[in-house]
């Protein structure tokens, strides 16, 4: 049984095909990395998988339920760290969690208990009363991550979770993800930091121009003698940097 499945998932914006006929099958309890250069369609895919964006065609099945026909049921099961964090201005970090808990059906007491533990683990407890519009990028990201985790989701979607995060919190997040995967949670993450992905994920796919060009396990990659970075640049063409003679 696959926890995340897509069939012919396609998103078209006018003439631009952002994602084309995407086929994904991710088993339960997997830490899956979704890689690709900027503008390759990663975030568009995450948005379709989490119900923010309607696909032009195709289907998304999460935990056996279609997000198209049962959006609320699916959203109760998933946690999402979106690309632009989707936070509310003028609310503190703690208030974000206190607001999110009851929306996912948690009691006030349970929300407070989990919020305290999460914020402690993410090194946010002392900043819990900071307004998010005045928080640093890393603090905002950790707040959005805490919101994604507070209801103990079965499937977790993380769009660039390690970008702008300090090393201590980054290690805590990795440990947390491994713990969750060990307990059966499925994690789908996108990242540009290939070294982190290589050490963390079990399997991955590389997306270029909206199409999957490579999909395999990390074990298979290492067995072939390549690093993830080698494999990435086999599929992604790197543009030549022009001479900037005026610099320096």
Partner 1 sequence: MDRITGIIRYQWRAYWRRFARARSLTAGNQGITLIITAVLFFKYLGLLGSAAAALSSGDTKLFQALLTAISLAWVFLPFSTPPSVIQLHGLLHMPLALKAFFTIRIASLVITPYSWIVMVASLAIGYPLAHAVSPWAGMAAALLLVTMSCLIGVTLAHLVSIAMWRRLLIALLLVSVSAAFLLSTENARLLLRVFRFPVDLVTTAAMGRNLVFVISLLLLMNLVVVGLALWSLRVYLQTTPGRRSRRRTSILFHLPTAVGSLAAKDVRYFRTLLDPYLGLLVSALGCLYLVTSDSPSAAIAWLFTIIVFLPNSPLAFNSFGLDSPAALERYALMPASGETIVRAKNLAFVILCTLQVAPIILLTYGRLGLSAGTLGLVLATATAAAYLTWGNWMSLSLPSKMYAYRFAPTTGTLPELMAGVFFGSLPGILAVLVLRSDGLPTMWLAALALIPFLLFYVVVSVRSGRRFDRQRERIALSLKLR
| Contact residues for 68 (Cβ-Cβ < 8 A; gap 6+) | 54, 55, 59, 60
234: left (phi over 0), alpha (psi -120 to 50) or beta: alpha
Residue of the chain from 76, 174, 192, 235 that contacts partner 1 (CB under 8 A)? 76
Question: Residue 44 Cβ, how far from partner 1 at the closest point, in Å?
Answer: 13
Residue of the chain from 22, 24, 49, 100 that contacts partner 1 (CB under 8 A)? 100
Q: Within a 10 A sphere around the Cβ of 228, how many other Cβ atoms?
A: 21
Query: Does 16 sit near partner 1 (CB under 8 A)?
Result: no
Q: How many residues does the chain have?
A: 248
Question: Residue 85 Cβ, how far from partner 1 at the closest point, in Å?
Answer: 7
Residue of the chain from 101, 145, 159, 185 that contacts partner 1 (CB under 8 A)? 101
Query: What is the spatial distance between Cα 158 and Cα 146, in angstroms, rounded to a whole number?
Result: 11
Stretch that binds partner 1, among 22-30, 92-100, 209-217, 237-245 (CB under 8 A): 92-100
Question: Residue 194 Cβ, how far from partner 1 at the closest point, in Å?
Answer: 27
Question: Residue 225 Cβ, how far from partner 1 at the closest point, in Å?
Answer: 41
Our CA angle for 110, 129, 174, nearest 5°, is 65
Q: Annotate each residue in 110-149 with x if it binds partner 1 (CB under 8 A) or - if it does not, as one string.
A: -------------------xxx--x---------------
Question: Residue 233 Cβ, how far from partner 1 at the closest point, in Å?
Answer: 32
Residue of the chain from 9, 60, 94, 206 that contacts partner 1 (CB under 8 A)? 94
Residue written as token pair 């440990």: 175
Query: Does 13 sit near partner 1 (CB under 8 A)?
Result: no
* DSSP β-ladder status, 2-13 and 155-159: unpaired
Residue 206 φ/ψ, nearest 5 degrees: -110, 125
Please, what is the end-to-end C-alpha distance for the chain in angstroms? 57
What residues line the site for partner 1 (CB under 8 A)? 50-52, 72-73, 75-76, 80, 82, 84-92, 94-95, 98-105, 108, 129-131, 134
């Amino acid at each position: 049984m696959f926890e995340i499945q897509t069939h012919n998932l396609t998103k078209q914006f006018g003439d631009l095909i952002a994602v084309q006929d995407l086929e994904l099958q991710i088993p339960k309890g997997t830490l899956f990395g979704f890689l690709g250069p900027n503008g390759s369609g990663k975030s568009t895919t995450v948005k379709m998988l989490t119900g923010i964006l309607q696909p032009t065609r195709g289907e998304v099945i999460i935990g056996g339920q279609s997000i198209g026909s049962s959006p609320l049921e699916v959203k109760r099961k998933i946690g999402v760290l979106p690309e632009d964090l989707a936070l509310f201005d003028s609310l503190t970090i703690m208030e974000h969690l206190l607001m999110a808990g009851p929306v996912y059906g948690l009691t006030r007491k349970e929300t407070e208990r989990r919020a305290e533990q999460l914020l402690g683990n993410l090194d946010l407890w002392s900043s819990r009363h900071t307004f998010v519009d005045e928080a640093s990028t890393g603090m905002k990201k950790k707040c959005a991550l805490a919101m994604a985790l507070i209801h103990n989701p079965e499937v977790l979607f993380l769009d660039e979770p390690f970008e702008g995060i300090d090393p201590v919190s980054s290690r805590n997040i990795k440990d947390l993800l491994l713990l969750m995967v060990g307990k059966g949670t499925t994690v789908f993450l996108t990242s540009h930091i290939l070294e982190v992905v290589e050490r963390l994920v079990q399997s991955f796919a590389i997306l270029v121009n909206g199409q999957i060009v490579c999909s395999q396990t990390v074990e298979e990659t290492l067995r072939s003698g390549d690093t993830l970075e080698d494999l990435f640049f086999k599929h992604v063409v790197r543009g030549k940097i022009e001479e900037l003679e005026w610099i320096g």
